[in-house]
Amino acid sequence: MRKIITFLFLAILGYYMVNLMNQIPFGEDRMNVGRYYLENTVSETGSVNTVTSIVVSYRGFDTLGEVTVLFLAATGLGAILFDKRGKKRRKQHASSLVRTTSKLLYPLIVLLGAYVFVHGHLTPGGGFQGGAIIATGVLMMYMSYRKFETNHKALTIIESVAGLTFITLGMTGLILGQTFLENFLPLGTPNTLLSAGIIPIIYSAVGFKVGAELTGVLDTLLKTIR
Amino acid sequence: MSDALVILIPLLAVVLVAAAIYAVRQKDLLLAVIGTSIVSLILSVLFFMLQAPDVALTEAAIGVALTTIIFIITIKKTTRYEE
């Protein structure tokens, strides 16, 4: 009986979905917003990467919300799992091949992460991607060296300073201009590193914040297993 | 879109669906996690081919590395086999 009702509801839903989809001509460009972004991004924000200009400039407030969500998730995880005594992790190292490779690759991965978030307005990627790449580098060191440790206090400080930078820049835009996160720095010439006003600064702050948060999450999680 | 992509994208999509089904059906949770990790890896390649490099970077770093290790730690702290 229940299955029949479920099927009936699904059929009704499917019927109306098909009807709705049939009204939209296939493959036709009807996105006015998308076209607006593609045409005006470079002149309005100075950022060559359209995705970055949307994420940080046009929809910067949403990004602040996302950063807050990540912060809350990391804090919640820490609150539940953080062990003050800090259980000793097993002293057994990975094989020497793994250890040597990760020692060689670790600085390069961190460099790549920093490159990705510093060049967020020029090349694909940005704060979230760069921060996640840095966290994977730290994770690799955690897996190969049992004694490898990160300074949890320093992570907290980096996270707080980066978050405050984001909000301060946003408030400065509100004071000097009209809206939160409004650009108040010169746009510069597109396609150069020092362009796009506050976008590179905000993305660097997001990169530091996300990197520190994800590293903190991994640190907390790995400390709970022996 | 070049000819190679026209063949490669459906091929990768089929492997992706197969890996996803494997991850759902597998009773050994460690292997299931590897399945989801393969899904993320192929998905990231597909995103890159479909000209979304921003999403591809996120998927590669978070889906392949971080989510997998968090699942593995959880499995280590709970049980490995599904009942």
Give the residue among A178, A197, A198 at the shortest CA–CA distance from A188. Answer: A197
When scoring A38, A69, A136 by the number of chain B Cβ atoms within 10 A, the one with the most, hence best to mutate, is A136
How large a percentage of chain A has pLDDT more than 90? 11
Q: Is the pLDDT of residue A90 over 70?
A: no
Q: How confident is the model at residue A14 (pLDDT cuts 50, 70, 90)?
A: very high
Most confident of A25-34, B30-39, B53-62: B30-39
The answer as to whether B54 is a domain residue is yes
3-state class percentages of chain A: helix first, strand second, coil last, to nearest 5 = 70, 0, 30
- The reported pLDDT for the residue numbered A226 is 61
Say how far apart CA A198 and CA A196 lie, in whole Å: 6
The answer as to whether B82 is a domain residue is no
Residues A133, B76: C-beta atoms closer than 8 Å: no
Query: In whole numbers, what is the pLDDT of chain A averaged over residues?
Result: 83
Q: Is the pLDDT of residue A207 over 70?
A: yes
Residues B76, A225: C-beta atoms closer than 8 Å: yes
Looking at the 3D structure of chain B, how many domains does it have?
1
- The reported pLDDT for the residue numbered B58 is 86
* Distance (Å) from the alpha carbon of B59 to chain A's nearest alpha carbon: 9
DSSP A5-51: HHHHHHHHHHHHHHHHHHHSPTT----HHHHHHHHHHHHHH--S-HH
Q: Is the pLDDT of residue A86 over 70?
A: no
Between B66, B73, B77, which is nearest A135 by CB?
B66
Domain spans, chain A: 2-224
Strand, helix or coil for residue A93: coil
Between A129, A139, A225, which is nearest B65 by CB?
A139
| Residue A218 contacts B, CB cutoff 8 Å | yes
Average pLDDT of span A79-94: 68
Say how far apart CA A89 and CA A45 lie, in whole Å: 48
Average pLDDT of span A177-200: 77
Say how far apart CA A15 and CA A164 lie, in whole Å: 50
Q: DSSP letter at A88?
A: P
Give the residue among A143, A118, A144, A140 at the shortest CA–CA distance from A129. Answer: A118
Interacting residues of A34 by C-beta distance below 8 A, sequence separation 6+:
none
The answer as to whether B69 is a domain residue is yes
Q: Is the pLDDT of residue A82 over 80?
A: no
Average pLDDT of span B8-25: 91
Say how far apart CA A154 and CA B48 lie, in whole Å: 35
Q: How confident is the model at residue A88 (pLDDT cuts 50, 70, 90)?
A: low
Name residues 98-117 of chain A within 8 A of B (Cβ): 116
Segments of A72-226 assigned E as strands: none
Between A124, A126, A136, which is nearest B65 by CB?
A136
- The reported pLDDT for the residue numbered B17 is 93
Say how far apart CA A32 and CA A42 lie, in whole Å: 17
Half-sphere exposure of A112 (CA within 13 A, CB side): 16
Segments of B1-83 assigned E as strands: none
- The reported pLDDT for the residue numbered A91 is 63
| C-beta atoms surrounding B50 within 10 Å | 13
- The reported pLDDT for the residue numbered A106 is 92
Residue A46 has which token pair? 């100075």
- The reported pLDDT for the residue numbered B42 is 92
Average pLDDT of span B71-82: 85
The answer as to whether B64 is a domain residue is yes
A223 vs B38, more confident = B38
Q: How confident is the model at residue A84 (pLDDT cuts 50, 70, 90)?
A: low
Interacting residues of A75 by C-beta distance below 8 A, sequence separation 6+:
none
ipTM score for this prediction: 0.82
The answer to whether A218 touches B62, Cβ cutoff 8 Å, is no
Q: Is the pLDDT of residue B83 over 70?
A: yes
- The reported pLDDT for the residue numbered B1 is 60
C-alpha triplet A47, A48, A51: angle, nearest 5°? 80
Residue B28 structural domain? 3-77
Strand, helix or coil for residue B28: strand
Say how far apart CA B83 and CA B80 lie, in whole Å: 10
